Structure 1
């Protein structure tokens, strides 16, 4: 059987911002290939500042790439207002903080109906809002129409934000840290909701998170990002049970259920305007620091030889000289 084409694809994507006072540009996204298929949930994981939110904004058409291109439904993304308006009906954003993304002066009804009004919806607005709220788990929906955000719990506010995305019947949602601001008791409910939306409506999702535990619970596939580039990707069970990149191993090591001592990475991620030569992780790499890379004969490559950009496909891939030596050794 032939694999269906991806719903959303990025090829050779770069996003750079001008440097301060005429300095070197900041390479926030520095060569990314990524595919998301219909009905697939992909988790984009990494530390704060690694470029994952900028990548998500580029995929939404909110930031124009410096190089590379984005395709949706087999067609390239165009940066005309008409094209982007139609595109954003099919691809919706769910923000991290429901309190910040909901206008405190607007009722739940108006918050959910806003997208319909922007896009000139010609159908029954009341019915569409009620259906979106019901899909998001707020039932009976009419009970919530005249409520204001301050009258809702944190979980209910996040469901209203999700309903505002669902009301336009998108094919893909981009959820940026969708449960980061919620209590632990509510997080599971929202994750279960996202899984149900995929199962019942075929909704695809890119979930942006720093939490590998969240990725484990919700994603089909995970892409681990470091300093503007995806360094490991593959099916979530494969990557998270047998991680090959030292950075992925370090992120996993701090989860409570992971056996062994946590890996403490030294220092902060480098400035994206001064990306180091060789492997971009080598200045913090525990494998290089321990001498394991030297024993494998790849320490020089780690410090001076760049790695190829990983492809956007669904197979397991890793950008690491040491991991490559483990396979061939």
Structure 2
């Protein structure tokens, strides 16, 4: 069930960019953003069961680090990202930023959003078509009462986002721009407040393949030049390979595998991660087709939450490893928020000691 990517293969994919990222912050440094035991539950409609969209997540993002949060639609990754910005209030757990708990008063959230900004996936929907580029980028400055020179700040943000000379774009409207230029305006609107953290939700999903690499290269350059941290939410493991230092794979409200991007994407341990990787064009072998119903946060099965779709259990490999009963009945603990390699899988944990003894 192992799935590996050939050396250098992802870089040959459309939109791939070279890894120009600097070393991340030392492991001993405290994280910029820390999440512990986070839960977000939405009440069900008309007597239906509540939806546990985020069901226990620990996650750290260090200064200057890019973390990719990956998973299929419905796994809870967008809800998690929005909760990190205070857009969705958690029903349990805590979010800590720069050592201080996140407050949820209007004043506290306003101050926090100067330091943590959201980049949405659809620039056509997130940009006001009646506003000029200048007004779109300047909006954050006006909301937060910027005391400096507004024109200079807007020009610097547009220039950093790759729109040069910036004055040429001041009086343009979104419909006059290409898709890549619109996404750069969205990024400039986030940069104008000089944040420390960007949360990018599928930042290149709506762009042509020829433009994707440019935007990914821009995010890497911003990390290099400004020391920005970023959480990149995506369903695309190829994107994660190209941009991230670490990857966290999410399934049904929880992170099921995490670690350095090279380790997770070249030697995945969780069957879900292996299935996600198997559909990449560069992956060897046939794609793994998951059977069963897609994840439903209002019905979380007992035991391992992936076991009803797990090909390892269906093939009998879990029985041979002696963990089939555990897969069906024993819930796995929440993975810790550090940067070490971790997996929430009874079979993967049983297989590792065997491999170590064989080595």
Compute the TM-score of the two structures, normalised by the length of structure 2.
0.91
Of residues 102, 120, 125 in structure 2, which corresponds to 1:100? 125
- Aligned Cα RMSD in Å? 0.8
Of residues 128, 146, 151 in structure 2, which corresponds to 1:121? 146
Q: Distance in 1 between matches of 2:347 and 2:59?
A: 23
Of residues 74, 85, 88 in structure 1, which corresponds to 2:113? 88
The answer to whether the 8 Å contact 1:227/1:269 transfers is no
Q: Distance in 1 between matches of 2:337 and 2:70?
A: 15
Q: Specify the alignment match of 1:14 in structure 2.
A: 39
Task: Tell me how far 1:20 sits from its aligned partner.
Answer: 1.6
How many residues end up aligned between the 2 structures?
A: 329
Of residues 295, 317, 320 in structure 2, which corresponds to 1:292? 317
Task: Tell me how far 1:196 sits from its aligned partner.
Answer: 0.2
The 3-state SS of whatever aligns with 1:192 is: helix
Gaps of 5+ in 1: none
Q: Specify the alignment match of 1:36 in structure 2.
A: 61
Compute the TM-score of the two structures, normalised by the length of structure 1.
0.99
The 3-state SS of whatever aligns with 1:21 is: coil
Quickly say closer, same or farther: Cα 1:115–1:12, change in 2 above 3 A: same
1:203 aligns with 2:225: no
The answer to whether the 8 Å contact 2:70/2:237 transfers is yes
Q: Specify the alignment match of 1:252 in structure 2.
A: 277
The 3-state SS of whatever aligns with 2:283 is: coil
Q: Specify the alignment match of 2:294 in structure 1.
A: 269
* C-alpha distance after superposition, 1:140-169 (max 9, x if no partner): 000000000011000000000000000000
Task: Tell me how far 1:79 sits from its aligned partner.
Answer: 0.7
Of residues 141, 144, 148 in structure 1, which corresponds to 2:169? 144
Moved over 3 A (4+): none
Q: Specify the alignment match of 1:68 in structure 2.
A: 93
* C-alpha distance after superposition, 1:211-253 (max 9, x if no partner): 0000000000000000000000000000000000000000000
Task: Tell me how far 1:23 sits from its aligned partner.
Answer: 2.8
Task: Tell me how far 1:2 sits from its aligned partner.
Answer: 6.4
The 3-state SS of whatever aligns with 2:46 is: helix
Q: Distance in 1 between matches of 2:290 and 2:54?
A: 22
Gaps of 5+ in 2: 1-25, 355-359
The 3-state SS of whatever aligns with 1:133 is: helix
Q: Distance in 1 between matches of 2:304 and 2:45?
A: 25
Task: Tell me how far 1:68 sits from its aligned partner.
Answer: 0.3
